[in-house]
Structure 1
Amino acid sequence: MDRVLLIDDDVELTTLLKEYLVEEGFDVSTAEDGRAAVGLAISNAVDIVVLDVMMPKMNGIEVLQRIRRSSEVPVLMLTAKGDDADRIAGLNLGADDYVPKPCSPGELAARLRAILRRAAKVAPNAASEVVRAGSLTMRPAGRTVEWRGEPLELTGTEFCLLEVLARDAGRLVSKQEISRRAFGRPLTAFDRRIDVHISSVRQKLGARDDGQPWIQSVRGQGYQLLQDR
């Protein structure tokens, strides 16, 4: 049973979502205060966090920052409809996805399952599979990454995106193909998730000797992971 932590000061909404998710087979705990929720989120007592941006005392962006200092637990942000600034800020800080409020309980459950599937994805019959692209080594079964001989910390979503590019290193991969292979769904218009997560992965990989990023973009087409040897 997947363990979900709902962090939202809207008690009525939280109660509704909790009741629905429990009926869908999730084990749900709740928190109304961001400060109190951080400890729960990083305690390894939950499998995924649903985090509202607008909360008193400590807003969702601050909560996410504190979680990411010590945990890679998947985080789904609840954002105000049309508020691109909060969405982009959350993705840049390591959120795995977002859902605009008000959202239907059914959509939330579907998004949670999709994120959890990505976080647990293992290649069939490949418990010891290793994906290599130059100095990049990825082990899908254990969700571990080494870059130039050193461990590289990635969120679950970042891992999925980089794995797609690593499997086709040196080839331009369209954003539509990336979305289907990494997220299991087609890319929708004005969806910037891939761009924001790729930007984060670029920062973690650092720059090439010529100052260019390891992940190259072709405007309007897609992304390509370069190899160093």
Structure 2
Amino acid sequence: MKNGKYCILIADDEKEIRDILRLLLEGEGYAVLTAEDGREAIAEAAAEVDLYILDVNMPEVSGFPAAAEIRKHFDAPIVFLTAYSTESDKVMGFSVGADDYIVKPFSNMELLMRVKAILRRSSGAKVPVVTEEIPFADLILDTESRSVSRQGEMIPLTYTEFQILELLVTHKKKIYSLENIYQSIWGEDAVGDSAIMVHIKNIRKKLGDDSRNPKYIKTAWGRGYYVDQ
């Protein structure tokens, strides 16, 4: 946060879009930082930023590598602005740690609703609550810090990845379809199978899980995912 306000960093090479988004978000009470390209976004990235909105197609450094670099140091949610809505583009975005996609052209109301929903989901890490540690196999899920550890070693997950893992762990043996997971996390109908599949792949990779013989997240072929420990 910045001066008690949620801080949002916008990176887009089109000045008109930056100016419109700044006015729109500042009008809703957010603190706003702007960047002209991915390189500047990386330089502006900081712990006080609560949400990154990155255009995919920027000169110098585009949105994808900028997000990947930001994600190495900070775990605030990342949203991509893109003129492309194909599944392959979304897979690429989610694979570098994106939390959501907004396809151009978009309405002001749609963007504000997405921003509010994402900040609401991610703010659990900023609101003081009673700490609850959930044991799962050899892992510990900490619901206050939204973190996962194994034998004292932290395993970095994004907010969305943590929410998916927490959902499965707190409903052991229940099989969640891709649509069920999407609705539970995003609160809306799924926009495609790729988002959840990529997030599951990322979680498994970070946990060191073998997708062919998984220890943590199991696959019920044709039905969805579950945990049984």
2:214 counterpart residue number: 212
Which residue of 36, 50, 53 maps to 1:32? Answer: 36
Report the Cα offset of residue 7 of structure 1.
Answer: 0.2
Report the Cα offset of residue 27 of structure 1.
Answer: 1.3
2:7 counterpart residue number: 3
Normalised to the residue count of structure 1, the TM-score between the two structures is 0.88
Q: Is 1:112 paired with 2:118?
A: no
Structure 1 CA distance, aligned partners of 2:135 and 2:9?
Answer: 35
Which structure 2 residues correspond to residues 133-148 of structure 1 after superposition, within 5 A? Answer: 133-148=136-151
Q: Which moved more, 1:163-172 or 1:53-62?
A: 163-172
The Cα offsets for residues 84-112 of structure 1, whole Å up to 9 and x where unpaired, read as: 33321110011111111111121111111
2:87 counterpart residue number: 84
Q: Is 1:150 paired with 2:153?
A: yes
Which structure 2 residues correspond to residues 1-229 of structure 1 after superposition, within 5 A? Answer: 1-41=5-45, 43-121=46-124, 127-188=130-191, 190-207=192-209, 211-212=213-214, 214-227=216-229
Q: 1:80 to 1:191 in 2, by over 3 A?
A: farther
User: How many residue pairs get matched?
Assistant: 224
Structure 1 CA distance, aligned partners of 2:90 and 2:20?
Answer: 23
Q: 1:181 to 1:132 in 2, by over 3 A?
A: farther
- Please provide the CA RMSD for this pair: 2.3
Amino acid at match of 1:200: N
Q: 1:73 to 1:105 in 2, by over 3 A?
A: same
What SS class does the counterpart of residue 151 from structure 1 fall into? Answer: strand
- Decide whether the 8 Å contact of 2:56 with 2:64 is kept in 1: yes
In structure 1, the gaps of 5 or more residues are none
What SS class does the counterpart of residue 43 from structure 2 fall into? Answer: helix
Structure 1 CA distance, aligned partners of 2:177 and 2:141?
Answer: 21
Identity %: 36
